[in-house]
């Protein structure tokens, strides 16, 4: 199969096989997830030595661990003796990880420490050569990313110009950010790319799909009344990372603050301080607007609604969604509680908007069960070819307004870059 025949960026269409084919999915695991920098945790989740969380990089289960020297290690959650998991907990704190099968024990850095009846192994094993496979780890202002490919560029280079947009969420104050309220998990019978591309740039669905949900929490107001779209709203993308946003500075915050005015009061009171760090454009016009974003390939967030999420692939037609609430560390307790509650009301397994999206993605995936249906193409051509790189205020590729398919096509162009490359040397450094 020639993957270049499945996406036509110039004409603005995508082959349906991207969303159901098992062979394509297996290649994604090898060429996309095994090569990319992937979000694995926030530093606030593992604050002390011995703290850990477990997650997935592609379909590889990994442990994200704070070692005794304060460093963060990410290693495969699979014993090198017979392959059993060495950790079954989602999170916790420990001095070591011990396999249930034969008692092989590993340090919080993945180093092999010993095993049950280890005297029998004397002369038969070099423990220093049989530790757990470690990934590269890098942090961007509290967000931890990992990568197993030694040829991959640095995380900063991987993110490129997109760091300018990440800072709108991550660099509002000296104290930084943290995750609160634990991790919320949800399963969808859908292809992982539907979630990633939706957050990358699908503002068009909001006024239709989410209108009834919006009305239920705003006493009958339409989406357009609560979250007006500025004519200068935009799509921005860099290296497949995508940001779509308005410029009114209030749309998403208004939704989050419905019945919780303390949220709006907190952010409005700190706009000037934010502007000293980020400038007026980011602090007063972009932040708080209707915004959704995706860090390529599978990490998405809603800056104004304070939710971050990872789309963990479980097959071509299955996603495990893991979501967290992100706040500034200096946020008062009453505002923290209000933000967390608002996130749960909107984007959680029983949230008003999560259910809307999940049903649509599942049906979009399930429709490909039909033989004739799966042979077709999908239209991605709205405002195709309108992006420019010389915007005086915004970095990356910019297209206006945000009602567009430009970001989605940029996402799939980067997908194609990875999928058709034999190594990082063949992947364009920037898009």
Q: Is residue 102 among the annotated active site residues?
A: yes
Distance, CA of 400 to CA of 247 (rounded, Å): 11
Q: Is 81 a catalytic residue?
A: no
Tokens of 59: 């379909």
Angle between helical axes of 406-419 and 192-201 (0-180°, round to 10): 140
Antiparallel, parallel or unpaired: β 291-295 and 177-188: unpaired
Single out the catalytic residue among 51, 357, 405, 417.
357
Judged by DSSP in three states, 301 sits in strand
Distance CA(80)–CA(133), nearest Å, equals 9
Q: Which of 90, 102, 120, 157 is catalytic?
A: 102
Whether the ω angle into residue 379 lies within 30 degrees of 0, i.e. cis, is: no
Nearest to 289 by CA among 239, 340, 254, 241: 254
Residue 344 token pair: 């749960």
- Closest residue by Cα to residue 170 from 322, 308, 70: 308
Q: Which residue in the list 205, 379, 393, 426 is annotated as catalytic? A: 205
Contact 24, 4 (CB under 8 A): no
Distance between CA atoms of 313 and 248, rounded to whole angstroms?
A: 35
Tokens of 213: 């949900």
- Options 15, 21, 51, 202, the catalytic residue: 202
Q: Which of 215, 214, 243, 197 is nearest to 346 (CA)?
A: 214
Q: State which H helix or E strand residue 312 sits in.
A: strand 307-313
- Asked if 202 is an active-site residue, the reply is yes
Given a contact cutoff of 8 angstroms between Cβ atoms, the answer to whether 69 and 170 are in contact is no
294 has which bridge partners?
Answer: 242, 300
Instruction: Give Cβ neighbours of residue 172 (< 8 Å, ≥ 6 apart).
Output: 270, 274, 277, 278, 283, 287, 328
- Per the residue annotation, which of 42, 210, 235, 241 is the catalytic one? 210
Q: Which residues, 6 or more positions from 64, have their beta carbon under 8 angstroms from its beta carbon?
A: 40, 41, 45, 46, 52, 53, 54, 55, 72, 73, 74, 144, 146
Determine the Cα–Cα distance for residues 367 and 66; give it in Å rounded to an integer: 44
Question: Three-state DSSP class for 61?
Answer: strand
Catalytic residues: 102, 202, 205, 210, 357
């Amino acid at each position: 199969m020639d993957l270049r025949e499945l996406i036509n960026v110039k004409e603005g269409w995508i082959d349906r096989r991207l969303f159901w084919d098992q062979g394509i999915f297996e290649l994604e695991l090898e060429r996309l997830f095994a090569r990319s920098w992937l979000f694995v945790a926030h530093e606030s989740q593992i604050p002390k030595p011995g703290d850990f969380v477990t997650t997935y990089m592609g379909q590889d289960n990994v442990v994200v661990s704070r070692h005794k020297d304060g460093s963060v290690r990410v290693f495969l959650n699979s014993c090198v003796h017979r392959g059993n998991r060495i950790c079954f907990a989602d999170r916790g704190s420990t001095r070591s990880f011990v396999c249930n099968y034969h008692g092989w024990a590993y340090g919080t850095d993945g180093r092999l420490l010993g095993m049950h009846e280890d005297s029998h192994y004397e002369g038969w094993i070099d423990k220093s050569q049989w530790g757990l496979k470690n990934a590269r780890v890098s942090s961007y202002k509290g967000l931890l990313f990992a990568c197993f490919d030694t040829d991959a560029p640095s995380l900063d280079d991987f993110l490129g110009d997109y760091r300018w947009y990440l800072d709108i969420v991550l660099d509002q104050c000296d104290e930084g950010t943290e995750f609160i309220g634990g991790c919320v998990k949800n399963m969808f019978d859908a292809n992982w790319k539907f979630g990633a591309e939706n957050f990358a740039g699908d503002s068009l669905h909001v006024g239709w799909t989410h209108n009834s949900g919006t009305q239920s929490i705003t006493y009958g107001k339409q989406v357009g009344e609560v979250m007006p779209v500025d004519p200068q709203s935009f799509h921005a993308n860099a290296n497949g990372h995508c940001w779509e946003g308005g410029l009114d500075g209030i749309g998403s915050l208004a939704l989050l603050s419905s019945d919780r005015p303390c949220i709006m009061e907190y952010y409005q009171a700190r706009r000037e301080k934010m502007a000293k760090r980020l400038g007026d454009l980011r602090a007063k016009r972009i932040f708080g607007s209707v915004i959704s974003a995706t860090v390529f390939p599978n990490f998405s967030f809603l800056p104004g609604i304070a939710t971050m999420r990872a789309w963990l692939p479980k097959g071509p037609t299955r996603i495990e969604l893991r979501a967290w609430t992100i706040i500034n560390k200096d946020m008062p307790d009453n505002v923290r509680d209000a933000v967390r509650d608002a996130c749960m009301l909107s984007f959680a397994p029983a949230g008003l908007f999560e259910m809307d999206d999940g049903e649509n993605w599942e049906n979009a995936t399930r429709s490909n069960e039909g033989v004739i249906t799966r042979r077709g193409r999908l239209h991605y051509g709205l405002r195709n070819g309108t992006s420019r790189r010389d915007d005086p205020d915004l970095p990356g590729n910019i297209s206006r307004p945000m009602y567009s398919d430009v970001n989605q096509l940029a996402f799939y162009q980067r997908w194609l870059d990875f999928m058709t490359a034999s190594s990082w040397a063949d992947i364009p450094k920037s898009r």
